Every structure is written in C-alpha cells, then in structure tokens.
Structure 1
C-alpha cells in the first residue's frame, strides 16, 4: 500500500464521511473515513472535482445508504 497522507474527513448530513489523500508522487485517493485501506485512486484534480460536486449536492443520490 502506498504511503498516503489523508486530509480531514468530509461528512455530509446523515451520510458516510469521505477522505481524500495524496501520496509522494502526487496521486490522488478517496476512501470512506475509517476504511482508508480500501480506496479509489485517480488524479488529484479528478478527486477534488468529485468532492466539490458532492459538497455542492450534485451527488447526494450516490451517498444514500441502502439496507436492501
């Protein structure tokens, strides 16, 4: 596993908390807070755009938990 520096979590109201991070090579990572060993990776710019869209409410339908 690469050495990832994680930022503070972003938590939506009533939803999971997410964290973004970077490694020494500038690669970007995103994970559910508390589960940083299971992450997605992409460019930092792509993940920053994703987080901004989530904060703007553009992806709320993706953050809803389903019990079924």
Structure 2
C-alpha cells in the first residue's frame, strides 16, 4: 500500500472539500476529504493543471444548478 502524505483540505463553496497528497516517489493524489482511501492518482503536473482549470471556472459546465 502506498503511503500518501495529505495536505490540509481545500474547501470551496458548499460542503465539497478536497485533499491533495503526494507519496514518497513523487506521485500525486486527490481525494474527497474524509475519503482519502478512494483517490485519483496522476502526475503532479496533471493534477496541478486540473486544479488550475477548476479554479479558473473551466469546469462550471459540469456543475448542476
């Protein structure tokens, strides 16, 4: 099992909180806070770009009204 060091949760509006983590080999992870055992893994650069795009509003079309 990979040991992941998680950062403090990032919480946006509402109750959606996410955590970003990194393992000892430089792999990056993102998970819903409180559910770190179920995560998405990718390169650090890919996850950084994903977060930048979300913060820039490029994922607004995925959100339900």
Q: Same fold (TM over 0.5)?
A: yes
TM-score, length basis structure 2? 0.83
Aligned length: 65
The change in CA–CA distance for 1:18 and 1:61 in structure 2 (over 3 A counts) is: farther
What residue in structure 2 maps to residue 16 of structure 1? 16
Unaligned runs of 5+ in 1: none
Runs of 4+ in 1 over 3 A off after TM superposition: 60-64
Q: How far apart, in 2, do the equivalents of 1:43 and 1:60 lie? A: 23
Unaligned runs of 5+ in 2: none
Using CA pairs under 8 Å that are at least 6 residues apart, name the structure with larger relative contact order, 1 or 2: 1
- Across the aligned residues of Structure 1 and Structure 2, the Cα RMSD in angstroms comes to 1.9
What residue in structure 2 maps to residue 57 of structure 1? 57
Structure 1 residue 60, shift from structure 2 partner = 3.4
The change in CA–CA distance for 1:36 and 1:16 in structure 2 (over 3 A counts) is: same
8 Å CA contact 1:12–1:55 kept in 2: the answer is no
